Amino acid sequence: MLTLEGLRITWPDFTLTADLTVPSGARVAIIGPSGAGKSTLLAAIAGFQPLGAGRILWDGRDLSPLPPGQRPISILFQDNNLFPHLTATQNVGLGLRPDLRLSPVEQDRVATALARVGLDGYGARKPGALSGGQQSRVALARVLLRARPLLLLDEPFSALGPALKAEMLALVRDIATESGATLLMVTHDPRDAERITDQTVLVADGHAAPPRPTAALFADPPPALRDYLGK
Amino acid sequence: MKVSLIAAGFCALASFAQAETPTLTIYTYDSFIADWGPGPAVKKAFEPICHCTLNFVGTGDGAALLSRIKLEGARTKADVVLGLDTSLTADAEATGLFAPHGTLPKMDLPVAWTDPDFVPFDWGWFAFVYDKTKVPVPPTSFTELAKTDLKVVIEDPRSSTPGLGLLYWVKDAYGDKAGEVWKSLAHNILTVTPSWDEAYGLFTKGEADMVLSYTTSPAYHLIEEKDATKAAAMFTEGHYMQVEVAAKLKASPNQALADQFLAFMLTDAFQSVIPETNWMYPAVTPKDGLPDGFDMYRPTKSLLYSADEAKTLRDGALAEWQAALSK
Amino acid sequence: MTLWAGGAVAALLGLLTLGTLAAVALRAGGSVLLSVADLSALRFTLEQAALSAALSVSLAVPVARALARRRFPGRRWLVALMGAPFLLPVIVAVFGLLALFGRHGLLNAGLALLGLPGVSIYGLHGVVLAHVFFNLPLAVRLLLQGWRAIPAERFRLAAALGFSPADVARLIERPMLRAVLPGATLAIFLVCLTSFAVALTLGGGPAATTVELAIYQAFRFDFDLGRAALLAGIQFVLCGGATLIAFRVGLPATEAPGLDRPVERWDAGAPLLRLQDAVLITLAALFLMIPLGLVAVDGVPGLLALPAPVWLSALRSLGVAVASSALCGGMALALALARTASGRAAFDLAGMLPLVASPLVLGTGLFLLVNPVADPAFWALPVTALVNAAMALPFALRALQPALDRIEATHGRLADSLGLTGWARLRLLILPRLRGPLGFALGLAAALSMGDLGVIAIFAGPGGATLPLQVYRLMGAYRMAQASGAALLLLGLSLGLFWLFDRGGRGDADA
């Protein structure tokens, strides 16, 4: 269970507060107007954003003292999710061991993960030689191997076309389901939220609201969400 | 860490080697130990005689040599210092680091030698060197030079011993009028270089008509390059001398060896090497005489201040020079 | 660990610069006064450095702009060769300049043919001309970097809006220059402040005395360590003040290779503008290349007659250069990593220290520090490598720091999220991504070390001569032709080393 307890993130001209819990295994969309602080919220959970006040807990354990790499988290950013100078295999292997000194068994696991995302035989390629969709798959294969209980997505597929994006989201849903991971996903597209998440956090007016069932939220949107959706 | 271990190992080896044969350490100016300088030949000749290892340490030019000794003071590793000249010996003497020499053999110097510590090993006359094909009628004195439009390169007395020599030359020849002479020469001075190397380089590249060098410079071109076009202008005021000297250090643990070297320095084995490596006159003319070209230019009048005079006059002469040329 | 390594390097640089100055000052003791001559040396030093910097930069603006918006065959080579004057031993470059501008140089020969009166290079203008020759390439490279930092999209937008070249200059280029010019000017000002042989040789007389010469005199002829330390201290304060200003304004990065591609420009097609740029580039190339060419021509006959010891010295110099380059790369990397990790400006400042130190004081102070504990002659080559590395460090740092910041900006969070830390981060992320700028920095350090006389002259023992020292030894023994040959060898080896390292950094440059 993820708990944001009395969270306050402050900038000179901006404050974001959050006080909420996300149950284990939930799939949560984070939605809200541009500049409301969706990415900032994710960055705080991942350990990139210092907190003004409050705590972030995972299963009752305070994450604050942990550096990003030691948190029980996998995160995919909007871009730069792969190292362009490393091969697909190496990029995925980083999910097992950051120093890439992989045993034969671990190398097999990397190959299996690549096959699982449909990239059998692409291991030796570098990102520059892969399409946008294939690059996303490599990143997802790494997520698979890291097998952290919390998966954060900061709109990593926004540059993909609608069909490809749908395909990736389906893959994400499968991976999350298989591993039982909790998913937090920033999006600006209500259809994405409806497609794979069961709950939604609305970030607006400097506050992240506790998650509500996605379908119910969109059926009866609060004023801030209504403005955002333009309804 | 590893490096310091290597160093420690090296020092241990060095002291081991020392126990076998004694080592005589000589500080000298850098060009003395160049592969084409006198150093290698001297080392080869002396080591079989002394059954020792001759260790030359090069330190820039003559002035750098003295400042090195002053920096190290009484703890210096040098047994002998070789390559100071007469404009520096008073300063060197004042350090109290040097020991008197023994009796000297008869030497072929144009002036009497009375210094108790320093032993001359070679000498020369400063002169303006020119190219006969470009300067058909060379000036015969500083005053004649001032009347021409010839461009000369000189060395800076603040950074080079030939430069300092020229300062004394004018001072010795003209005394209180030296400042005026410098003023009259200002239009002839193309530029002032930090050391002899740059000045002579400018001259050989054809940039200047004349350069402050030595009367023996044409001999180099004659012997090494078969080029007879270079000449030294003979001045009626006389020519200032540079005498290069060596001395042993009081604190040296190798007194006998140092004395042996200073004595060796005035023998044929050392002296015969000097003319065609250092391009100066040897302090004692070798048995076989001097090479061709060394007798081409012999001034009739030699100028040289004693070490003490040189020291006393230096700052005043330098100020005159600076004032006259800073326009 | 990053901070420890960076801190250790900063401490070492402090020891090399401030520590050596303190060693000299402590050895001197007592109080000293400055003479009138010292004050006028100070004035001349500031004057020539300011003029040289201002002129180098104002000439560099049109040249860099022309290079930024033109593509032509050999452009890459031209930009690379333009670094050569900066790498040459001073006296060799001066001879090259004199072959063009001297009394019997090409220029005066040409003027005489036309029946025009000759011009003299000696004087303040000659000093400034030489400094422009050395530093114009540096300025052009710094400014080119500024042009390259302008996103290509901005020129596209300008084209879409129908900007004229004047509009582009006003709205796009001028803001960039305002950010880059102060730093570039100050960098060159600093380089010119410690000039010594150039200033004296081309200055034409004692009026052209710089502070560095006064320090030399204090050391060598007066053995007045107190005055030397005081003068060096004043020079340090001057440089330090200028550095702090430069630092506030923001020093631009030196060139990062691999980015050397001109962006598509739609505003520069007019024939007149093409002609103007062609003339500018040609003039700059001629100004820089003719003296170099003359050095080469002058050196060829001597090159064939070089005595064996010179070749040995060349090998020794290569060894020192490679060691120095590795040291410099390591130190620059440690400082840059510490700077990125901590965000502390102190690491930047430490990296600038070598630029403001007097080489003479550094060498002497180091001697005073080393002599009581070890044999200086034995340590001559390692110390030379270290000092040369420190001297090249400011330039290496300028190449590495921005690149490192870029890497951290694009991939830092990803690496953090994957727990990529310590050696693994260095091995898997930073070194591969930094390969280009690192190759450039290593090449620059190697070439600078190759050409620098450094402290070897103070420390040299028998048989330890480096190639620049042999050039001077050959000159000192009347062997001018061989000296020219050795100088050509030096020029070739410096450029060759630079090319090798730089190329090594550019291979396999994917993504």
- Residue B288 in any domain: the answer is no
Residue of B nearest to C480 (CA): B201
> Which pLDDT score, from 0 to 100, does residue B8 have?
39
Claim to verify: residue B201 and residue B225 sit in the same structural domain: yes
Among A23, A143, B304, which residue's Cα sits nearest to residue C418?
Answer: A143
- Residue B292 in any domain: the answer is no
CB contact under 8 A, C205 and B33: no
Claim to verify: residue C27 and residue C38 sit in the same structural domain: no
Mutation for testing the C interface, residue in B91, B150, B192, B217 having most C CBs under 10 Å = B192
Among B101, B37, B128, B27, which residue's Cα sits nearest to residue B69?
Answer: B27
The neighbours of chain B, by the rule of 3 or more Cβ pairs under 8 Å, are: C
- Residue B290 in any domain: the answer is no
Claim to verify: residue B34 and residue B81 sit in the same structural domain: yes
What domain range is B139 assigned to?
A: 124-241+298-325
> Which pLDDT score, from 0 to 100, does residue C510 have?
43
> Which pLDDT score, from 0 to 100, does residue B12 have?
39
Claim to verify: residue B106 and residue B45 sit in the same structural domain: yes
> Which pLDDT score, from 0 to 100, does residue C23 have?
84
CB contact under 8 A, B63 and C368: no
Query: Which of C37, C458, C465 has its CB closest to that of B322?
Result: C37
pLDDT of C508 strictly over 50: no
In chain B, which stretches have pLDDT less than 70? Answer: 1-20, 327
CB contact under 8 A, C223 and B77: no
* Distance in Å, alpha carbon of B254 to nearest chain C alpha carbon: 19
Weakest mean pLDDT among C50-54, C118-122, C359-363? C359-363
- Residue B25 in any domain: the answer is yes
C413: chain A residues, CB-CB within 8 Å: 46, 48, 68, 77, 80
Claim to verify: residue B81 and residue B227 sit in the same structural domain: no
- Residue B110 in any domain: the answer is yes
Task: Say how far apart CA B132 and CA B134 lie, in whole Å.
Answer: 5
Task: Say how far apart CA B128 and CA B147 lie, in whole Å.
Answer: 16
Claim to verify: residue C329 and residue C195 sit in the same structural domain: no
DSSP run (H or E) holding C31: none
Mutation for testing the C interface, residue in B26, B47, B75, B159 having most C CBs under 10 Å = B159
Q: Strand ranges (DSSP E) for B37-156?
A: 53-58, 80-85, 119-131, 152-155
Claim to verify: residue B109 and residue B138 sit in the same structural domain: no
Claim to verify: residue B178 and residue B190 sit in the same structural domain: yes
Task: Say how far apart CA C257 and CA C499 lie, in whole Å.
Answer: 11
Under 8 Å between Cβ of C61 and C136? no
Claim to verify: residue B216 and residue B250 sit in the same structural domain: no
Claim to verify: residue B308 and residue B272 sit in the same structural domain: no
- Domain boundaries in chain A? 83-147
Domain finish residue from C232, C264, C296: C296
Give the total number of structural domains in chain C: 2
What domain range is C496 assigned to?
A: 1-31+305-511
> Which pLDDT score, from 0 to 100, does residue A36 have?
87
> Which pLDDT score, from 0 to 100, does residue A107 have?
94
Claim to verify: residue C266 and residue C355 sit in the same structural domain: no
* CATH number, residue C278: 1.10.3720.10
CB contact under 8 A, B205 and C217: no
pTM, to two decimals? 0.82
Q: Is C423 on the interface with A (CB under 8 A)?
A: yes
- Residue B287 in any domain: the answer is no
* CATH number, residue B141: 3.40.190.10
> Which pLDDT score, from 0 to 100, does residue C30 have?
59
> Which pLDDT score, from 0 to 100, does residue C462 have?
55
pLDDT of A120 strictly over 60: yes
> Which pLDDT score, from 0 to 100, does residue C257 have?
38
* Residues constituting chain C: 511
> Which pLDDT score, from 0 to 100, does residue B188 have?
94
- Looking at every residue in chain C, the average pLDDT score rounds to 82
Give the total number of structural domains in chain B: 2
Claim to verify: residue C406 and residue C461 sit in the same structural domain: yes
Distances (CA, A) of B34 to B31, C370, C475: 5, 25, 11
Claim to verify: residue C252 and residue C397 sit in the same structural domain: no
Claim to verify: residue C325 and residue C213 sit in the same structural domain: no
In the block, tokens 């350069």 appear at: B211
- Residue B156 in any domain: the answer is yes
Under 8 Å between Cβ of B195 and B160? yes
> Which pLDDT score, from 0 to 100, does residue A29 have?
94
Taking each helix axis from N to C end, the angle separating C174-193 and C345-356, rounded to the nearest 10 degrees, works out to 50
- Residue B89 in any domain: the answer is yes
What are the pLDDT digits (tens) for C268-311?
777 888 888 999 999 998 988 899 898 888 889 888 888 888 99
> Which pLDDT score, from 0 to 100, does residue B128 have?
97
State the DSSP code for C17: I
Mutation for testing the C interface, residue in A83, A126, A145 having most C CBs under 10 Å = A83
Q: In B21-74, where does DSSP find H-type helix? A: 39-50, 62-72
Residues 6+ apart with CB under 8 A from B91: B66, B311, C223
Weakest mean pLDDT among A174-178, B166-170, B322-326, C220-224? C220-224
> Which pLDDT score, from 0 to 100, does residue B309 have?
92
Claim to verify: residue B198 and residue B307 sit in the same structural domain: yes
What are the pLDDT digits (tens) for C163-214?
888 888 888 888 888 877 887 888 788 888 877 778 878 888 888 888 888 8
> Which pLDDT score, from 0 to 100, does residue B107 have?
92
Claim to verify: residue B256 and residue B115 sit in the same structural domain: yes
Domain finish residue from C296, C321, C338: C296
Claim to verify: residue B60 and residue B104 sit in the same structural domain: yes
Claim to verify: residue C20 and residue C38 sit in the same structural domain: no
Domain finish residue from C296, C313, C335: C296
